[in-house]
Chains A and B, each alone.
Chain A
Amino acid sequence: MIRRITLTLAFALALPAFAARVGKQAPAFTGMDTHGHMHSLSQYRGKYVVLEWTNKDCPYTRAQYDSGNMQALQKEWTARGVVWLTILSSAPGHQGYMTAAQEDAWIKKVHADPTAAILDPTGTIGMAYGAKTTPHMFVINPEGKLIYDGAIDDHPTTDPFDVDKAHNYVTDALSEAMAGKSVATAYTRPYGCSVKYATEGE
């Protein structure tokens, strides 16, 4: 009952009242990664942070990983000092839910290279940001402000062969911000599968 009420409150409050807004301070969060380490947004103040919502069984996410595009982005930007956090908000029993060991194995298998993969089975972080889809991308600047919220690219596709035709919004946002420019496309409709949040009573 208590848990139910907590969930109720979380749902009632998280969307849309406290959801992240471009140009505003990004919502603070703390989450545990697959190695049991805690990550807080505040500890990355001074760095660019990318949040990537994922669900390895979602065809849209799969297109990004099957094409190698997501891994390439992770390698490129983490090498340039960006903190890349892959977040799993699928609830237990729902598509895309992973234990720490499973997620770790999967990261190795697909050669993914995020700074960390955060497990968020309660959907707390997802709902704080209003993460709707997988992939749904957020970019936070060194001052902790949200500078991009939306789709990974302009080509909603489940076909890995189509991914390289797409124009990547995350690359744009990071390049523009690092060059001291304002982000031209700061908000797009995120495409993909819905984030598999817990439905009530679970």
Chain B
Amino acid sequence: MLFILLAALPPLHGRAQATATAPHLTVQLVVPPAQIYPGQHFTAGLYFKLAPGWHVYWSNAGDSGEPPAIQWMLPPGITAGAMQFPAPQRLPLGPLMDFGYENQVLFPIPVHVASDFKPAGSAATLGGKVTWLVCREVCIPGKATLLVNRPALAGAPTSPGNIAADAQLIDQFRNTLPQPLPASDQAKFQTTPTGFRLTVQTGDHEASAEFFPFDTGILANAAPQPVQPFGNGIKIALTKDQNLNSTPQQLHGVLVLSNGRAYEIHATPGTLALSAASPSSSGMLRIILLAFVGGMILNLMPCVFPVLFLKGLALVQSSSEERHKIRLHGLVYTLGILVSFWAIVGVLLALRAAGHNFGWGFQFQSPLFLVLLSLLLFFLGLSLAGQFEIGLSLTSAGSGLAAKQGYTGSFFTGVLAVVVATPCTAPFMGAAIGFALTRSAVTSIAVFTAIALGLAAPYLLLAFNPTWTRLLPRPGAWMEVLKQAVSIPIFGTVIWLVWVFNQTAAAGSLVFLLSAFLLLAIAGWILGRWPAKAPATVAALLVLAAAVAVPAWAIHTLTPTLASRAQDAVWQPFSPQLVAKYRAEGKPIFVDFTASWCLSCQVNERVVLDRPEVQNALKSSGVELIRADWTRHDQTIADALTALGRDGVPTYALYPANPNDPPHLLPEVLTPGIVIRALDQLKSGASSTATSGL
């Protein structure tokens, strides 16, 4: 209706009018020069100011819509070039995706006045018929005739002047135009089964990127564009238009990088080797410090506590030894931790090189690993509880090594500390490891070394500080009591491991693991009843072998059933498509990346997320709840974590409603306040975005 009214308006002759007000927008023809004269070059502009939520379109409007256009009416001798389009933004509409502008936009237009321009009068009228389509949910086409009068001169004036307001507008929007890609940078693309992999080398670490194709029919507009950041560029996965049958010669479009930098690129077929370059030294130092602190905090995590108890016990036994010996024990323990971390980082780097994205804690997805660790700890527990003495006859397994006196014992206690600490990705750790794994091998090793040193630090300090050593209690009968008491957290850890095993392993295999514990108890009894007797040791070793073989065989034989953890009614199971779909619809999303072997995750879920006030806040904020259960290895979840710059759980990602806003990561240790505040910010953030610039 408005359209008809507007269309019926007579062209505005008589008085030249540079600005028109139409439903949901005002549009202005911006002409900075104060005079028009022969040989002049200047940039004019078409400036749209839009009501909140309404948008006009880019040159490729996406799935629907049309870009604005101007039909010039210019005096002879004056020519206008093509309208230029600033870098657009993605505008999702349900399952569709448009490209355009919200709030305000200025389209620059180069204008040239010929050198033989002859003014027809004292003034020249510049302008034309402007047409546009403005949409929010519905679309309203509009048109207006915009005209600007300027004094016309027969020759260039001595001091050409500018209309301040117009010049200011042009200046204000100068930076919104995409720039040509600097000569030092490169863009290449490869064809993939689903589309293209665009590789852009800028020399800087690029955290985010969006690609807008100039041509229609090349890409599926609504498809998300997952990125892979590198130290000197970025890779973007693009989905092709389903009707595209041939491979284009080049990908021509606008690339928008973080902080609004936009480049016009012509990507040619090929690939570029992007390096995981090291970041600035100050950033590096901060990360290393963070990793060190994270390592220290690992000492306090429940899953490393039993080992600390054990180590404290060893220290108590050592307190009568000479000081330099204690120091050596501390150093050897540190070495044990360091070597383990280097081994882990080596494996991770090798796996990464092999193209796998395994995350921290991944080892806990292997039932066999769980079996071996629970058996080891159970056997250790039996010994600590006093059933038999380790070291008298048995020196084979890691448990024996860890509990062994002397430097070997210290070394393997260090190793054990690392192994057991794995599932507890302490606060800061996820970020540090995520950082490390997206960077160069050198950075990764440095970060992991810092974590290792942090983990070893408390014991090392104790070993090196004589005063603290003197504070330790004297050896005595209480040591046996303490040793036996230590078996309690060890058995507790065993229960937890068995529970995790039960979540990951095949349905019937639990009974085999429990039977293996019985075999261990029998072996322990043999070792305790006939200590240091060769036949007894052999018998015990045979029983031990059986204890390992039984559950290993069970895992191997019983086909794993994919009985995923029961999903709560409110939590939807994770899939990248689901996230993309909600993002495309402009829905806020909360993704809980979790796993049953991750204790911090369980605590957060039970103590914070399941709490009624948090549940209510989540419900009332309209956030879609998605749970990504990583209990078993799932490549799509590993990919999603990598995209967030993380490598482990817990990770909590809150996606704002605006699909162009990046997700916000919550800390690994949640409190109801953190969650509720983040949800409040989401709401206020959304409304401020909608009104900004108007």
A residues touching B (Cβ–Cβ < 8 Å)?
A: 1, 5, 8, 11-12, 14-16, 19, 21-22, 57-60, 94-95, 127, 130, 132-133, 149, 156, 158-159, 187-200
B585, A194: Cβ atoms closer than 8 Å? no
A82 to B374, alpha carbons, bound, how many Å? 72
B96, A21: Cβ atoms closer than 8 Å? no
A14 to B242, alpha carbons, bound, how many Å? 13
B66, A58: Cβ atoms closer than 8 Å? no
B624's closest neighbor in chain A, by CB?
A200
Q: Mark B592-621, 1 if CB is under 8 A from A, else 0.
A: 000000000000000000000000000000
B3, CB-defined interface residue at 8 Å: yes
A149's closest neighbor in chain B, by CB?
B243
A34 to B50, alpha carbons, bound, how many Å? 39
Interfacial chain A residues near B94, Cβ < 8 Å:
11, 194, 197-199
B242, A192: Cβ atoms closer than 8 Å? no
A55's closest neighbor in chain B, by CB?
B138
Interface residues of B, count at CB 8 A: 35
Interfacial chain A residues near B239, Cβ < 8 Å:
16
| Additional pairs, 20, CB under 8 Å, beyond known A8-B578, A58-B139, A159-B7 | A1-B569, A11-B94, A11-B95, A11-B581, A15-B95, A16-B222, A16-B239, A16-B242, A57-B138, A58-B138, A94-B137, A188-B217, A193-B64, A193-B138, A193-B139, A194-B63, A194-B96, A195-B64, A197-B95, A200-B587
A193's closest neighbor in chain B, by CB?
B139
- Chain A nearest CB from B134 CB (Å) reads 11
- Assess A191 versus B95: contact at CB under 8 Å? Given A59-B139, A149-B243: no
For the complex of A and B, list the 3 residue pairs with the smallest distance between their C-beta atoms, beginning with the closest. A158-B141, A194-B64, A189-B216
Interface residues of B in 61-111 (CB under 8 A from A): 63-66, 93-96, 98
B240's closest neighbor in chain A, by CB?
A16
B217, A187: Cβ atoms closer than 8 Å? yes
B522, CB-defined interface residue at 8 Å: no
A95 to B65, alpha carbons, bound, how many Å? 16
- Chain B nearest CB from A125 CB (Å) reads 14
Q: Mark B136-148, 1 if CB is under 8 A from A, else 0.
A: 0111110000000
B577, CB-defined interface residue at 8 Å: yes
- Chain B nearest CB from A36 CB (Å) reads 28
* Chain B interface, DSSP helix/strand/loop, else mixed: loop
Task: State which of B217, B242, B569, B577 has its C-beta within 8 Å of the C-beta of A130.
Answer: B242
Interfacial chain A residues near B572, Cβ < 8 Å:
5, 8
B217, A192: Cβ atoms closer than 8 Å? no
Interfacial chain B residues near A198, Cβ < 8 Å:
94
A5 to B98, alpha carbons, bound, how many Å? 25
A38 to B224, alpha carbons, bound, how many Å? 36
A19's closest neighbor in chain B, by CB?
B242
B220, CB-defined interface residue at 8 Å: yes
* Chain A interface, DSSP helix/strand/loop, else mixed: loop
Task: State which of A5, A21, A193 has its C-beta within 8 Å of the C-beta of B243.
Answer: A21
25 contacts between A and B (CB under 8 A): A5-B572, A8-B581, A11-B581, A12-B575, A15-B222, A16-B242, A19-B242, A21-B243, A22-B243, A59-B133, A59-B141, A132-B63, A158-B3, A158-B133, A191-B64, A191-B66, A193-B138, A194-B64, A194-B65, A194-B96, A194-B135, A194-B139, A199-B94, A199-B585, A200-B587
B581, A59: Cβ atoms closer than 8 Å? no
- Chain B nearest CB from A109 CB (Å) reads 16
- Chain B nearest CB from A5 CB (Å) reads 8
A196 to B135, alpha carbons, bound, how many Å? 12
A12, B93: Cβ atoms closer than 8 Å? no
A199 to B96, alpha carbons, bound, how many Å? 11
- Chain A nearest CB from B380 CB (Å) reads 48
- Assess A95 versus B243: contact at CB under 8 Å? Given A127-B95, A197-B95, A200-B587: no
- Chain A nearest CB from B218 CB (Å) reads 10
B569's closest neighbor in chain A, by CB?
A1
Task: State which of A8, A11, A95, A191 has its C-beta within 8 Å of the C-beta of B138.
Answer: A95
B313, CB-defined interface residue at 8 Å: no
A192, B95: Cβ atoms closer than 8 Å? no
A196's closest neighbor in chain B, by CB?
B137
B339, CB-defined interface residue at 8 Å: no
- Chain A nearest CB from B14 CB (Å) reads 24
B223, CB-defined interface residue at 8 Å: yes
A156 to B223, alpha carbons, bound, how many Å? 24
A132 to B141, alpha carbons, bound, how many Å? 18
B94's closest neighbor in chain A, by CB?
A197
A5 to B239, alpha carbons, bound, how many Å? 25
Interfacial chain B residues near A189, Cβ < 8 Å:
216-217
Interfacial chain B residues near A95, Cβ < 8 Å:
137-138
- Assess A132 versus B96: contact at CB under 8 Å? Given A21-B242, A194-B63, A194-B65: yes
B216, A59: Cβ atoms closer than 8 Å? no
